[in-house]
Homo-oligomer: A and B are copies of this chain.
Amino acid sequence: MSLIVQKFGGTSVADADRIRNVARIITETYRRGHSLVVVLSAQGDTTDDLIAKAAEINPHGSKREMDMLLSTGEQISCALCSMAIEAMGYPVVSLTGWQAGFQTDSAYGGARIKKIGTERVLAELDKKKIVIVTGFQGVNKYDDITTLGRGGSDTSAVALAAVLHADLCQIYTDVDGVYTADPRVVKGAKKLDEITYDEMMELATLGAQVLHNRSVEMAKRYHVKLEVLSSFSGQPGTKVKEVAKTMEKPYISGVAKDANIARLAVVGLQDRPGIAFQIFSALAKEKINVDIIIQSIGRHDTKDITFTVSRDDMDRAREVLMDMKDSLGFDHVDVTDEIAKVSIVGAGMINNPGVASRMFEAIYNAGINIHMIATSEIKVSVLVDKCDADMAVQAVHSRFFGE
């Protein structure tokens, strides 16, 4: 008899058949005697359809009205799923974000949860009802509807699990867990039974689209036990927790690729103090996130600063730099998006020196050139040409996991 929070994504509730499938998973869990709160995303393309409708009328509509519009998507999927559960003969009630007590700040389109009032949800659980809650949304202090932005429904589920002190938060998706590498690309990619929050976060950042970082961060902070699993396969998924029991065995938990990046090199900078500070504070002011940074000595008492940003920020980052050309004094800026980042992640590598060199060796043996290197406690990233990225991932994965 546990309290379980289950979350189902948009593909899991895309049509009537899939909603019935989800209703079956929910009612089976309920039948086993668990108290159950379920968080749903909007159906399949609903959100995109609503965005298209809005764009036709006003491509620059206010974010407040956009949230008013988009929040209907989850309300629809929750009502439909409740009806599917009613048809199976189980007691159920659906709740919108405001009904379920989700209070957020006023950052429409990307609001943060401030508080969840649990009275209503607990009252419904006391009545032995299955409680279906709209993900992705809440209300601000003005009673206006807000949405939580990307990964919002995962965050809704984890936040609910945290305030309800749930025993488990299951994130149902269309993949059946977290893999050592993208199974569509890498031969021999293996599903992990367990992974730590930190590893999961590094993998999410690196482009493994299983769980949004925001939800993992929250799960870590509030000690919410997560499980990522498929709503289609019926197989056990991957558990995300503080300490993974298999930590000592493989040094790394996964190999990830991020091809959605760009590299900018500011070449021929005058070698005087404060240059790096000037560049990166200007980029920060424009809300451009910088990832890997390398500073190297150039020719004739100059230096070069090279860094990577998200592909979407490439043009704006170049503009920021060019605006500073006179004040900074540099020769030119090299920009390319023909690169990709390949990374290994693993809590085990803290206590296992030599992991990085094994990675470099694998890439060298595959005849691939490394442009940049960055390391953290549980991660090693290298920059390679985009065309070499998949081969690099495969080589590194084989080196650590076999084929």
Interchain CB contact under 8 A, A68 and B94:
yes
Question: Besides A54-B79, A57-B84, A65-B83, 10 other CB < 8 A contacts?
Answer: A50-B76, A53-B76, A53-B80, A58-B83, A61-B82, A66-B79, A68-B94, A69-B83, A72-B72, A75-B75
Say whether B16 contacts A57, CB under 8 Å: yes
A68–B82 CB distance below 8 A: yes
A337 within 8 A of B: no
Are A53 and B16 touching (Cβ within 8 A)? Answer: yes
User: Which 5 pairs, one residue from A and one from B, show the smallest C-beta to C-beta distance?
Assistant: A61-B83, A69-B79, A72-B72, A58-B83, A58-B87
B99 touches A83 (CB 8 A): no
| Cβ of A359 under 8 Å from chain B | no
Knowing A65-B86, A82-B68, A99-B143 are in contact, say whether A16-B56 is a contact too (CB < 8 A): yes
Report whether B72 and A75 are in contact in the complex, using a CB–CB cutoff of 8 Å. Answer: yes
Residues of B within 8 A of A86 (CB): 58, 60-62, 65
Interface string of A249-284 (1 = CB under 8 A from B): 000000000000000000000000000000000000
Q: Specify which chain B residues have a CB less than 8 angstroms from the CB of A382 in the assembled complex.
A: none
In the complex, what's the smallest C-beta–C-beta distance from A7 to chain B, in angstroms?
19
CB distance from A36 to the nearest CB of B (A): 17
A348 to chain B, nearest CB (A): 46
Shortest distance from the beta carbon of A240 to any chain B beta carbon, whole Å? 32
The answer to whether A305 has its CB under 8 Å from any CB of chain B is no
Residues of B near A80 (CB, < 8 A) are 53-54, 57, 69
CB distance from A81 to the nearest CB of B (A): 8
Question: Known contacts being A99-B143, A143-B99, A144-B99, is A54 close to B72, with CB within 8 Å?
Answer: no
The residue of chain B having its C-beta at the shortest distance from the C-beta of A61 within the complex is: B83
Q: Which of B58, B82, B145 contacts A65 (CB 8 A)?
A: B82
Q: A residues within 8 Å of B by Cβ?
A: 16, 19-20, 50, 53-54, 56-58, 60-62, 64-66, 68-69, 71-72, 75-76, 78-80, 82-84, 86-87, 93-94, 96, 98-99, 120, 143-145
Q: How far is the CB of A95 from chain B (nearest CB, A)?
A: 9
Contacts A57-B20, A143-B120; A62 near B76 (Cβ below 8 A): no
20 A-B pairs with C-beta separation under 8 A = A16-B56, A19-B57, A54-B79, A54-B83, A57-B80, A57-B84, A58-B83, A58-B84, A58-B86, A58-B87, A60-B86, A66-B83, A68-B75, A68-B78, A68-B94, A69-B79, A96-B145, A98-B98, A99-B143, A99-B144
Contact B87 A57 (CB under 8 A): yes
* Cα(A72)–Cα(B93), bound, Å: 17
Of A78, A83, A94, the most chain B CB neighbours within 10 A belong to: A83
Per the bound structure, the CA–CA distance linking A79 and B82 in Å amounts to 25
Interchain CB contact under 8 A, B65 and A79: yes
Complex formed: what's the CA distance from A179 to B19 in Å? 48
